[in-house]
A = this chain, B = another copy of it.
């Protein structure tokens, strides 16, 4: 059961002019399952992305980087689940290119105008024939109002599809944004087996779009973690179709900021959906570190807390075991940290004061907060003005079951 994550409703997901989505059942790994998504993008659109930092980056990620660098104008995206096409060497690269070739041929565009994405088991060759055989079906059913089915078609261990929309007024016109994401385990910064796609009908110049996607990723997909593992395939892509009659060609000013904030808020919603649906998750934890010397050390401490199996199991047990949180702060690697200035809150309950237990803290107050499904851990370092926020979930029996059983 995801944590406070309502099922998206098709009628709430808005079409983005210039973007059509179609799915197919290719039988990549299992039969009778949506496992291929094709997204068609109108001519003249701009597309930008950020990708995994894992040294073992998957074949499709390499091809995405090449095709974006080619600058020919992206016209289509193809995603498959069931196989990540990672650790597959030259044959894997050839399979990713063959996929692009097949889709390009069917759409009468160039291969370098296609971006490929894969997610699933790694170290096994992609069954490229099954994938390309399914492309005509996906193309045939591509529609602008297909966002919910698109979200379903990229799911792996996700228990439910993740999709959301919003609109924002810019220069007196309505700009629409819709997005989908997938991912449930192996999630941490730098985009672990996480895929996110957002489209808007604003027109955005390529360098501005790249700034937008980086900013949104840093404040969303790169600020979540389930288990600290980073995948070989993570990608977040932003599409601007330009059909809304609003043009943003500078990375400053009110119009830019309005779109940036809308993209970031939508990316946060989609990224938090991944944590809410984290493998085995029963709680959403927001780890907010403030009063740091710089953002990097705030993130370092937030991640140490978010990754600690002892902290995560304590939250699973609704146990206000504050010592485990303090211990994680202590070993985060900020070597000149003065622990006597550290303060800690669970939501509104002040639990640790000046490095030790707050004398006024009562266990029952901590217990009350820990029973909630959503909890904010706020850590004040008392050494500066920087801050950072990371979202994570608890570590439960179901996490072990899911990951001990994933391939069988």
List the interface of chain A (C-beta within 8 A of B). Answer: 53-57, 84, 86-89, 92, 121-124, 185-186, 190, 192, 227-232, 307-310, 313-314, 316-317, 319, 321-324, 326-331, 334-335, 337, 339, 352, 354-357, 395-397, 399-401, 403-408
B87 near A319: Cβ-Cβ < 8 Å: no
26 contacts between A and B (CB under 8 A): A54-B330, A55-B329, A55-B335, A84-B323, A87-B355, A87-B357, A88-B356, A123-B322, A123-B356, A190-B331, A227-B308, A227-B309, A228-B308, A228-B309, A230-B331, A232-B327, A309-B403, A313-B399, A313-B404, A316-B400, A317-B404, A317-B405, A317-B408, A319-B408, A395-B400, A397-B400
Q: Using known A-B contacts A56-B339, A323-B86, A323-B121, determine if residue A229 contacts B309 with beta carbons closer than 8 Å.
A: yes
Q: Which residues of B contact A330 (CB under 8 A)?
A: 54-57, 230, 232
Nearest CB in chain B: distance from A387 CB, A: 19
Q: Using known A-B contacts A87-B355, A331-B190, determine if residue A310 contacts B121 with beta carbons closer than 8 Å.
A: no
Copies in the complex: 2
Q: Which residues of B contact A395 (CB under 8 A)?
A: 309, 400
| CB nearest neighbor in B for A193 | B327
Nearest CB in chain B: distance from A135 CB, A: 26
- Checking B86, B92, B324 against A229 with a beta-carbon cut-off of 8 angstroms, the contacting residue is B324
- Checking B86, B355, B397 against A89 with a beta-carbon cut-off of 8 angstroms, the contacting residue is B355
B352 near A87: Cβ-Cβ < 8 Å: yes
Q: Using known A-B contacts A87-B356, A88-B356, determine if residue A56 contacts B327 with beta carbons closer than 8 Å.
A: yes
Q: Using known A-B contacts A227-B309, A229-B331, A327-B230, determine if residue A316 contacts B404 with beta carbons closer than 8 Å.
A: yes
Nearest CB in chain B: distance from A87 CB, A: 5
A122 near B229: Cβ-Cβ < 8 Å: no
Q: Quick one: which of A57, A319, A330 has the most chain B CB within 10 A?
A: A330
| CB nearest neighbor in B for A232 | B327
Nearest CB in chain B: distance from A184 CB, A: 12
Given A89-B355, A229-B310, output 13 extra A-B contacts at Cβ < 8 Å.
A56-B330, A87-B352, A123-B352, A227-B308, A229-B327, A230-B331, A309-B309, A309-B395, A309-B399, A313-B404, A316-B404, A397-B397, A397-B401
Docked Cα-Cα span, A400 to B54, in Å, equals 28
| CB nearest neighbor in B for A401 | B397
- Checking B310, B328, B404 against A314 with a beta-carbon cut-off of 8 angstroms, the contacting residue is B404
A229 near B89: Cβ-Cβ < 8 Å: no
| CB nearest neighbor in B for A189 | B331
Docked Cα-Cα span, A96 to B333, in Å, equals 26
List the 10 shortest-distance A-B pairs measured between CB atoms, nearest first: A122-B323, A56-B330, A317-B404, A89-B356, A313-B403, A230-B331, A54-B330, A55-B330, A227-B309, A123-B323
Nearest CB in chain B: distance from A229 CB, A: 5
- Checking B123, B185, B335, B357 against A326 with a beta-carbon cut-off of 8 angstroms, the contacting residue is B123
B396 near A400: Cβ-Cβ < 8 Å: yes
Nearest CB in chain B: distance from A115 CB, A: 21
| CB nearest neighbor in B for A90 | B356
Docked Cα-Cα span, A407 to B335, in Å, equals 30
Docked Cα-Cα span, A314 to B121, in Å, equals 13
Q: Which residues of B contact A397 (CB under 8 A)?
A: 397, 400-401
Q: Which residues of B contact A231 (CB under 8 A)?
A: 327
Docked Cα-Cα span, A356 to B89, in Å, equals 6
A407 near B339: Cβ-Cβ < 8 Å: no
Q: Which residues of B contact A319 (CB under 8 A)?
A: 404, 406-408
Docked Cα-Cα span, A307 to B331, in Å, equals 15
